[in-house]
Structure 1
Amino acid sequence: MTTPLLSNVMGGRTVAGRGNGTLLFDPVLGTELARVDATGLDLADGFRFAREQGGAALRALTYRERAGLLAAVLKVLQQHRDAYYEIATANSGTVKNDSAIDIDGAFYTLGQYAKWGEALGDRRTLLDGEPARLAKDPLFQSQHLQVPIRGLALFINAFNFPSWGLWEKAAPALLSGVPVVVKPATATAWLTQRMVQDVVDAGVLPAGALSVVCGSPAGLLDALQPFDVLSFTGSAATAASIRAHRAVTHDSVRVNIEADSINSALLLPGEAPDGEAFGLLVKEVVREMTVKSGQKCTAIRRILVPEALYDAAAQAIGAKLAKTSVGNPRNETVRMGALVSRAQLAAVREGLAALQQHTQTLHDGASHAPVDADPGVACCVGPTLLGARDADAAAIVHDTEVFGPVATLLPYRDTAHALTLIRRGQGSLVASLYGSDATALAAAATELADSHGRVHVISPEVAALHTGHGNVMPQSLHGGPGRAGGGEELGGVRALNFYHRRAAVQASTAVLAGL
């Protein structure tokens, strides 16, 4: 039987590539699932259609009307929810709970932006701040105005969140009145492609408002123009090549980057091994190491505890990890599925081997025999906890991110030492703090805010309320400085800033009133 070829959507229609395509595989069973191909696509024409047709149709609507489009998109997606779960299991190797983070997390984000867009009302532009007087007479003033860009938004997305990675970007873009072209990571492109196809087939968006390019098209960035924007999630190496492209250096295409991030979890001093804060740290570390098999840009990579608690933390985390069943996500006893591909499996093994040369293995992932899966075929690895008693000397753990179920335990002398160690990550998406002293937690959060996009503080009173170290909520900013890419996404309506242009209108108060 011929493996099906997934179509691209460009120029408001379905378009097949002209090549043989790249095969997508089930990372547990090793079976062929589909092919993707973008050979021969007329990207310039497709991008032009998106700008001229999709963009114009979106900009003609008010924010409230565009919010209605998001609500309609959400309704379409919800109708196909079961099919999306099946695709996630087959193509990403995720257990049901992990698929929910990607799929239902996307639905929640779309719903939030639909609600926020409704609140923006019947406007087509946004005022930025209050008018500022420019002369002695207040008749002549300056008002900053935000208007939707007249280009398109190109999303080059990572393999780990084919659903949420699309919609957390597309929701604010479409609400802003900007057409979207998404290029999903090839290995897990099926879910993104299916969602886009379902929405386009339902006809709930204007033609050209949403497009998908699968596979590896030639000249993707060459088709960008000065008023377009580009959002990338992936490796720092690819991010560097994007920043060096002529579209960015010459045409000033606006770029948002989310790259590598060595995130941390810190247990503050003064906590006991039988205390609640200690238990919350252990629970969250284990969850972050195992959810989506550690394939999250926000996952905990470094765990910092007071020197006196190093052994207790190693034992407690290792004991919980030992109970994690790894293998085929179709088996109800399995709690952690597979890595997404053989390439990812090789990368994790290589990175883990490099870390192990400078650390002690406190819990060996090799002790987890895959459940209901052939170890010679399945891309399964068990969670591995490493440790380095000399956190200062173990430079590699502050520089190297293994994108899988791997984390390193590090002891620190005092709070100042701990914060110094965390900053050696050179900028991260998120750090989480654990403790029971509100004053100390607030002080540490403030100290880490300059080098992190988000600081997640977990104390006993919010044990049952907090949303999780690694969960990205649309109400909060997602992104981080330095090696994390320097980008910003989400943060409520702040996300709309990326898809608008700010201009100062200098005019009489009567003219400004008409804005």
Structure 2
Amino acid sequence: MTSIPHHAPPLLENHVAGHWVAGNGPATELKDPVTGDTLARVSSAGLDLDATFAFARDTAGPALRALSYGARADCLFRIVTTLQAHRDDYYAIAQANSGTTTNDSAVDIDGAIYTLGFYAKQGAALGDAMTLLDGPAVPLAKDASFGVRHVFRPTPGVALFINAFNFPSWGLWEKAAPALLAGVPVIVKPATATAWLTQRMVADVVAAGILPAGALSVICGSADGLLDRIGAFDVVSFTGSAETAATLKRHPAFTERSARFNVEADSLNSALLMPDASPDTPAFEQFVREVVREMTVKSGQKCTAIRRAFVPAEYFDAAASAISAKLAQVVVGDPRNETVKMGALVSMAQKRSVIDGIAHLRAEAEVLFDGADAVFVDAGPDSACVAPTLLGLREGAAGQRVHDTEVFGPVATLIGYRDLPQALALAKRGQGSLVASLFGNDAGAMHGPALALAEAHGRVHAIDPSVAKTQTGHGNVMPMSLHGGPGRAGGGEELGGLRALRLYHQRAAVQGPAALLEALTQNGTQMPQ
């Protein structure tokens, strides 16, 4: 694996309006969360944002949309090849700047490359089409001389991504793949703490000359002024806290100019052990393994991680013992040490937030496995390492904080339930989540609960012993499935195959003579489901 050289920390430039530009104001330092060393600096001060957005809309957008969907898919294939050529560098950056182990870096980096490849293949199937059609023509006159046909056209704006710190690679490319395939230029504002990986990936793609100038821009540092430039045909995708999302929603870009705003926010995701999954059954073991995995992968810094694990009250002690036993085997510390299985949180600020969150939950929940006194491998108390903590609430209905507070780290709460209707009601107390999983020994018995959970969750992940080796994981976001959730989860939708293209298209009804409607089929193809 490529190592990070030791020299004066570089100032990472921004790529805007087809050029690399350094910020000219005070720079923010990017740190190694284990050692505290400064790795790089970023600043967006002094950038000409008006020129940035105008160039993307007026120059890059038309150039992208002059290509067919198949040609844009070919661009995605070439981006995949470019990123694969630099994987070792990306792993080194992730280890240093995000504090992740090799396996955790793979979730972000290889997950991004896989998603890009998926959309490249999906887009290639659209061929030479320049327009997407929505269903057949429908006559509006008795003699069928006049009718209507619905079409999808790429929005003539830009896609602005305001991303979170936990997935600097996947967070970019899972959004950019459908946007670029749709023909919409991208401006990404990565979270400052882990911006290095995003900036490096953009730099490699720009250097490869794959996309039209201005089709992919990156702004490192402050997001000030970005929303002020958002117009009526632009799309903004935000990943972050519900509190920040609520503030952004009040911006005139959305309240006055009605720009599209796609949000992925807080999520109190659940895992639910079915009543038939007693401690001596395979489903119980699957449940335990998945809870531990979701608590520890990426140090629990995943928007889809299990935060609440519901079990029948009579299985509470057995589940607590089994989960705690596996957590005790998790080695935490510097990911450069090969014995370490869980690395650091991304920053000291995030560590303080997690510690405060644990204290908040402890006011109503007992500690079942306490990571407070853990000894970290090759990492001291001044590192951003936090060991896993399992809390417990035997009477789930008595809790309030555990159903309201997401602690974004290696923390989960085991919650007892009386019967299945109560368990489903408790899961919905999260007020909308990205994902809920079911674990049982009888797939048929999960039919009703799966549909009930679908009312309040963006994805339902049901597991029985027959899919123990083939299931993709509670927290893994697959590009074939929708990613998003209602309510406090933000109400947004991403991925889901080519459904993702709809965010970047305007659907219009074209009414006219039958000959015109027939002509629309030229260089057009049906929007796939």
Coarse TM-score class (shorter-chain normalised): over 0.9
Q: CA deviation at 1:367?
A: 3.8
Which residue number corresponds to residue 461 of structure 1? 466
Match of 2:330 among 312, 324, 332: 324
| Structure 1 residues 279-290: aligned runs within 5 Å | 279-290=285-296
Which residue number corresponds to residue 277 of structure 1? 283
Corresponding letter in the other structure for 2:367: T
Cα displacement string for residues 321-370 of structure 1 (whole angstroms, at most 9, x for unaligned residues): 00000000000000000000011001001111000111000000124211
Match of 1:111 among 111, 117, 130: 117
Are 2:170 and 1:164 aligned?
A: yes
Which residue number corresponds to residue 440 of structure 2? 435
Which residue number corresponds to residue 133 of structure 1? 139
- Do 2:479 and 2:496's aligned partners in 1 also have CA atoms closer than 8 Å? yes
- Do 2:301 and 2:409's aligned partners in 1 also have CA atoms closer than 8 Å? yes
User: Normalization by structure 2: what TM-score?
Assistant: 0.96
Corresponding letter in the other structure for 2:419: D
Match of 2:504 among 477, 499, 510: 499
- Do 2:264 and 2:484's aligned partners in 1 also have CA atoms closer than 8 Å? yes
Q: Following the alignment from structure 1 to structure 2, what is the Cα–Cα distance between the partners of residues 130 and 262?
A: 41
- Do 1:325 and 1:368's aligned partners in 2 also have CA atoms closer than 8 Å? no
Mind listing any 5+ residue stretches in structure 2 that lack a counterpart? 1-6, 521-529
Q: Following the alignment from structure 1 to structure 2, what is the Cα–Cα distance between the partners of residues 163 and 114?
A: 17
User: Normalization by structure 1: what TM-score?
Assistant: 0.99
Q: CA deviation at 1:123?
A: 0.8
Q: Following the alignment from structure 1 to structure 2, what is the Cα–Cα distance between the partners of residues 373 and 434?
A: 36
Q: Following the alignment from structure 1 to structure 2, what is the Cα–Cα distance between the partners of residues 187 and 424?
A: 32
Are 2:411 and 1:373 aligned?
A: no
Match of 1:250 among 256, 268, 293: 256
Match of 1:407 among 408, 412, 426: 412
Q: CA deviation at 1:217?
A: 4.0
Aligned residues: 514
Are 2:384 and 1:391 aligned?
A: no
Which residue number corresponds to residue 61 of structure 1? 67
Match of 1:224 among 227, 230, 239: 230
Q: Following the alignment from structure 1 to structure 2, what is the Cα–Cα distance between the partners of residues 152 and 21?
A: 27
Q: Secondary structure at the match of 2:232?
A: coil
| Structure 1 residues 160-309: aligned runs within 5 Å | 160-309=166-315
Match of 2:488 among 483, 493, 510: 483
Are 2:71 and 1:74 aligned?
A: no
Q: Following the alignment from structure 2 to structure 1, what is the Cα–Cα distance between the partners of residues 280 and 377?
A: 33
Q: Following the alignment from structure 1 to structure 2, what is the Cα–Cα distance between the partners of residues 509 and 415?
A: 56
Root mean square deviation, CA, Å: 0.8
Corresponding letter in the other structure for 1:381: V
Corresponding letter in the other structure for 2:44: A
Which residue number corresponds to residue 86 of structure 1? 92
Which residue number corresponds to residue 416 of structure 1? 421
- Do 2:189 and 2:223's aligned partners in 1 also have CA atoms closer than 8 Å? no
Corresponding letter in the other structure for 2:454: A
Q: Which 4+ residue blocks in structure 1 deviate beyond 2 angstroms?
A: none
Q: Secondary structure at the match of 1:365?
A: coil
Cα displacement string for residues 267-308 of structure 1 (whole angstroms, at most 9, x for unaligned residues): 111222021000000000000000000000000000001111
Are 2:52 and 1:12 aligned?
A: no
CA separation of 1:53 and 1:436: change in aligned 2, threshold 3 A: same
Q: Percent identity?
A: 64
Cα displacement string for residues 202-240 of structure 1 (whole angstroms, at most 9, x for unaligned residues): 111110100000000431110111111100000011101
Mind listing any 5+ residue stretches in structure 1 that lack a counterpart? none
- Do 1:134 and 1:141's aligned partners in 2 also have CA atoms closer than 8 Å? yes
- Do 1:226 and 1:247's aligned partners in 2 also have CA atoms closer than 8 Å? yes
Q: Following the alignment from structure 1 to structure 2, what is the Cα–Cα distance between the partners of residues 242 and 217?
A: 11
Q: Following the alignment from structure 1 to structure 2, what is the Cα–Cα distance between the partners of residues 218 and 431?
A: 35
